[in-house]
Structure formats: C-alpha cells, structure tokens
Chain A
C-alpha cells in the first residue's frame, strides 16, 4: 500500500514538474517573438504548445538513469527509492515556482537535478553523488553555454544589420519577423524533444522501481501522453512573467535581433544535443538575447537584470537541493511524513501562485514595462532565502 501511495504521489508531482517546466520555458522560444510583435502573444504560446507536444511524441528515448549518471544509481550503486525521487521533484517544482514569481529564467533541468542531489545526500549520503559528473554535466556547461550562445548571437546580429543596411532595406522588418517565427518554432520543437522526455524517464523509472513495470522497457503510452500534455498545457498557459524579462527587460529586442537571437539559439541547441550533451535551453536563449543586445548599435543591455538572472542560475542547484533534502529528510521517516511534505509543498506552491496574482503578468500586459520599477526593488536573494 505504501509503495502504491508513493508511486502515485511521484507521478502526480512529476506531472506538476512537467507542467512548470513548460510554463517556465515558454519564454525561451517565444519571448523575443512576442516582444518584437512577430507573433501575437496567444499565437506564440499556441504554436509553442503544439510543437512541445509534437516533440514529446517524436522523441521517447528514456535515459537509463533518472539523473543521467549524476547520482550513482543502478548496479553496484545506491538505491534511489521512489520516496527520494518524490522529494527531489518537490524541490524542483518549488524552485521553478519561485523563479517564475520573480520572473527569472532558470533551468528546469538544473532544478530537477538539484532536487534529486539534495534528496540523495539526505537519503544516502554525500557519496551517492558523482561530483565529477556534476562538474562536467552541470557547472561547466552552465558557465560556458550563455557565452557561446551570446557570442554567436552577437555575430549574427551584426551580420543581419550589416546586410540589410541597419534593417532600413525595404521589407527587412517584416522579412525578419517571418524568419524569427520559424527559428523560434524550431527552438520550441527542440525543447519538446528534450524536456518532456525527462519527466517520462522519471515516471518510467519510478514504475519500474515500484514493480509496476518490467525493467528495461520504454515508457508506456499513457505516460507519454500525460507528459506531452502536461508540458504543452504549461507552455500554453505561459510564464508571462519570465517572457517579459527575456523579451523586454534584458534589452529592447528589435526584429533583426530577435531573428538573430532565435537562430543562434536554435543552432546552438540543435548542434549540442546532436553531439550528445544537450545544453540548457534557458541558458542558451538568455545568452543569445544578451548577445543580440550587444550586437545592435545604440542598444543597451540592462546588466542589473542580467546579473540577477546569473545569480538565480548559481542558486538554482543548491536551492533546489536544499528543498529536496529537507523533503527527503521528512518523507523517508514514514508515510505520514510523506503526506506532510506533499501538503507543505502544496501550501508553499499555492502561496506563490496567490502572491503572483497580486501583480499579474499575462498576455495582455506582457510587453509593458511601467511597473518595472516596483518589481526591480524586490531583491532576488530574499526570495531564495524565503523559499529554502
């Protein structure tokens, strides 16, 4: 009975995580398109949602381990129980909601890994985590990818402006809009093929661990369906708060810049995942937007905002790990502890959603900037502190 409760809870929280993943990452592909007016906000999220769903169905290769080798799972390694996965997911979801509340683009994947690392440390000990893999798979790519994408976008922006004579060449504005729509769609599609898979993997491995599915089999159809729809629904509802940050507040994106940024992101993401190490979509697109801002003469990049985003990236892993660890500490004690964690997470998550309601950002005001001042004064560090 206990196993069943845990498995059900994991599936529910995994789907919630998948939802926040889509919700969080709409901004990656669509923020610049919405900001430049290449797509109406609603059209943008519909395209993104459909492509995420399509991507989820087209790519269902599930990794052999939940964490991709970060935690020493499997034969001869440690036993990652469904309870620990549950705790890790709680950490990831709460961190995603916190960064969403502050409108900061942060990697959902890092939040997931952070939560799992925290849960594994509490449940098994420091030895459970392969720190070399953490370094090579998370820390270094996180440091490198924004610079790579930024550099590519910088060059692409300069090229786009040069060739079209500072975009004054006849028809270049609307031409770039069309181009941007296509490259942004490609980013969305790539996101769907990558991110929905992670949740599918988590659920499948939980089902296997709980004895409800045979080891070595792929995800069941209902799992693919549920994950695809969860991420698509999240994408459709859209993280407008994050979109405003990426599209308007880092730098005021113009159509040639938007085209250059999205094309660079698409190229970087596609090439890196083809070579076997997928870079974080969030970090690539944020870096590309900064690069596009630097590439246009007279454009200013708001380094304060960039700094806050960078800070959020640094904090993501430890913060999610802390929440995941705390959840694991309580959840492993008994079924009651597990339920207490679930209820507490619901209260904190619901509280963040209610707080966000007081100052809503939606498709009608996503491109406004007037209330920027009041939001700017909220220090991000206090948010992180409150959460953990």
Chain B
C-alpha cells in the first residue's frame, strides 16, 4: 500500500539533482572569481540581487573588481579557460532550471 520505493526514488533523485545544481553553480562562482570576473555587490544594508546600481556605485565596484583581478596569479590563457569553465557550469545550472520548468508545466507533456 505504502510505496516506500517511490520515496527512496524521490530522495535519491532530489539528492542527485540538488547536488549537481549546487556544485556546478558553486564551481561556476569559484571559476568566475579565478577568471577575474567575480560579481561584486556594493555593501548596502539591504542588497537586492536585482537592484539597479547608480553609476558612482558601478564605478566603485569596477575599481574593486580590477583590484581583485590584479592579485590574480593566473596567466591570461588560464583566466580565459577559467571563464569558459564558469560559463559551462552556469549553463548546466540554467539547463537544470529549464528542465524543472518543463517538468511542472503539463502542456509540454501532451
């Protein structure tokens, strides 16, 4: 009556899916930083991920990013490779999100 197998399946699938997405996204962030393009957000009290920043803030942030990039010991080629890796990681995460949307919209299954 109670389908324990289904629970186990959900648990395993969720574990794998979440691990893949979280680690690829985290690796992407790490590689982005290595590539010298770390996303830097101003230290505002209530930073919003989709806030539009003022030009002055953007300038300060660009300066900080430049400074951070200077400390980077990698060669240009290595940086480029890191960036490619970062975007590949983000692509995996984005595909996972699209697949998720595909799964919940019944229209796609007909």
Contacts and interface: CB of A to CB of B under 8 A. Distances in A.
Q: Indicate whether A and B interact.
A: yes
Contacts of B68: 170
Contacts of B97: 182-183, 186
Query: Which of B2, B29, B103 has most A Cβ within 10 Å?
Result: B29
A23 interface: no
Given A58-B105, A172-B30, A267-B14, A178 B49 contact: yes
Nearest to B7: A144
Interface in A18-48: 37-40, 43
Contacts of B56: none
B33 A171 contact: yes
B25 A189 contact: no
A189 B100 CA distance: 10
Given A61-B106, A186-B101, A270-B103, A152 B18 contact: yes
Interface string B2-19: 110011011101110111
A220 interface: no
B65 to A, nearest CB: 8
A193 B102 CA distance: 12
Interface size class of A (residues with CB under 8 A): 35 or more
Contact of A264 (B10, B18, B49, B93): B18
Interface of chain A, helix or strand or loop or mixed?
helix
B54 interface: no
A59 B103 CA distance: 12
B50 interface: yes
A176 interface: yes
Given A174-B40, A264-B18, A267-B17, A136 B2 contact: yes
Contacts of A268: 10, 14, 18
Contacts of A37: 46-48
A216 to B, nearest CB: 18
A175 B90 CA distance: 11
Given A148-B10, A164-B26, A170-B38, A273 B104 contact: yes
Interface in A274-289: 274-275, 277, 279
Interface string B40-83: 11000011111100000000000000001000000000000000
Interface stretch (A66-74, A153-161, A222-230): A153-161
Contacts of A61: 106
A58 B17 contact: no
Contacts of A148: 7, 10-11, 14
Interface residues of B, number: 45
Contacts of B9: 275
Interface string A124-139: 0000000010011000
Interface in B83-107: 93, 97, 100-101, 103-107
Nearest to A193: B104
Nearest to B68: A170
B25 A259 contact: yes
Given A171-B38, A171-B40, A267-B18, 20 more contacts: A59-B106, A61-B106, A132-B1, A140-B2, A148-B7, A153-B18, A156-B22, A159-B19, A159-B26, A170-B38, A170-B68, A172-B29, A174-B49, A176-B29, A181-B49, A190-B104, A264-B14, A267-B13, A273-B103, A277-B6
24 contacts: A58-B106, A132-B1, A140-B7, A148-B7, A152-B11, A152-B18, A156-B19, A159-B22, A160-B25, A163-B26, A163-B27, A174-B47, A181-B49, A183-B21, A193-B106, A264-B14, A267-B17, A268-B10, A270-B103, A271-B10, A271-B17, A275-B6, A275-B10, A277-B6
Interface of A: 37-40, 43, 55, 58-59, 61, 132, 135-136, 140-141, 144, 148-149, 151-153, 155-156, 159-160, 163-165, 169-183, 186, 189-190, 193, 256, 259-260, 263-264, 266-268, 270-275, 277, 279
Closest 3 CB pairs of A and B: A171-B38, A163-B26, A174-B41
